[in-house]
Structures are given as structure tokens and as C-alpha cells.
Amino acid sequence: MSQASLAKVHFVCTGNICRSPFAQAFAQARMADLPQLEFSSSGLFVLEERPISQGMKKYVAEAASNPDFKHLSSQTNSSLLAQQDLIIVMTREHRMQVLEECPLAMSRVFTLREFGRLLHLAAEDKVALPQGETVSERIRGAARTLSQLRSLLPALENSTDDDVLDPYRLDDEVYARSVSQMLPPLKMLEAFLRALA
């Protein structure tokens, strides 16, 4: 399959060694049967290429079911972001930083947990997702539709509930909590992408 025909989904976190590579590993393993989808990740503050953190490795192998996942961190940039059909970040601060880097991506950038809440809302309200000739067009159209639902989301008691906890350099309990925050919306993301692929 040519590069031009691929639909691109990109995950972003701070250093690209914990949360975003976990999400990428999960998506690649769970949707390996969908070659028309390309998953990648990057970080907003990457000083050098580094492998996935030791604390996240076991969760990539177990929770993401991707023990052979190979990864070196890479820096986010505007050119990379502009190519993506859907950009999933881990915190509201990441979303602001991504939009500073690539303002035209406004309707394609979501925090992971916000995206899960929007998918739940769309399902409850039976919102029809737009069609398109290619998977890329369908994903971009659906992202635009979901972004327009933001104003209808119930207010959170704590705004940080849209963020995924950063476990870097913390103990295994924090890694487990971070992964537990990611898994439900990642499974919803999988169902969403399968419906559009």
C-alpha cells in the first residue's frame, strides 16, 4: 500500500517514552489487520532518541499485547503534525502546544480521554459520522464532527480528568494508573477506526 493511501493516526506526549508509545503500541497490535492505518508517535520535548521507559515496557508487552514493539523517541514538528488525519495527545496542555505548532490541526487534535468522552456522546446522541471516499477523508470528517460536539460535553468536576497521568520516573503503581486511564478510550478509538476503515 502506497504512503499516500494510508490514513495516519498520531499520538503525542511530553518525552515520547511512556504514554504516547504505549498508545501507539496498543493501536498497532490491536489493528494489525488494518494495513490502511498507520500509527506513529512523538514528543513535545525530546532531547535525544531514547527507548520506551523501563516502567512502561511491561505494560506494552502485557496490556498492549505488543512485546516486540520497537521504539525510539522522536520530536514533534509542524510538518509531521500537518500530515496526520487524527492527533491524540495525553493532556490539555499538550493540545495547546500542538496547536501552537500546527494551528490548522484544530479540528483533528484531542486529548485521549476527551476523545473517549466525545465518542460516548456521539453514540448516545446517534450522531452520524460523515462518509468519504478514502479512510483518511472519513477520519478527518469524523474528527471535525466530533470537535463540534465539544460544547455539548458535560462539564468535568476536575478538568484534569481529561489528562492522562504522566508516570515518568514514578513507581509501578503510577504506571498502572496511567495505563488504566488510557485503555478504555483506546478501545473506543479502535472501534471508531474500525468503523471507518
User: Considering the chain, what percentage of its residues have pLDDT values greater than 70?
Assistant: 98
Residue 83's CB is within 10 A of a number of other CB atoms, namely 15
76: nearest Cα among 58, 102, 57: 102
Mean per-residue pLDDT for 41-57? 95
Domain of residue 50, residue span: 3-196
Q: What is the pLDDT of residue 3?
A: 57
End-to-end CA distance of the chain: 14
Q: 9: which 3 cell numbers? A: 493516526
Domain tally for the chain? 1
Instruction: Please write the tens of the pLDDT for every residue from 116-132.
Output: 999 999 999 999 888 88
pLDDT, averaged across the chain: 95
Q: Residue 86, SS3?
A: strand
Q: What is the pLDDT of residue 8?
A: 98
Report the CATH number that the domain containing residue 143 is assigned in CATH.
Answer: 3.40.50.2300
What is the rounded CA–CA span in Å between residue 48 and residue 163? 25
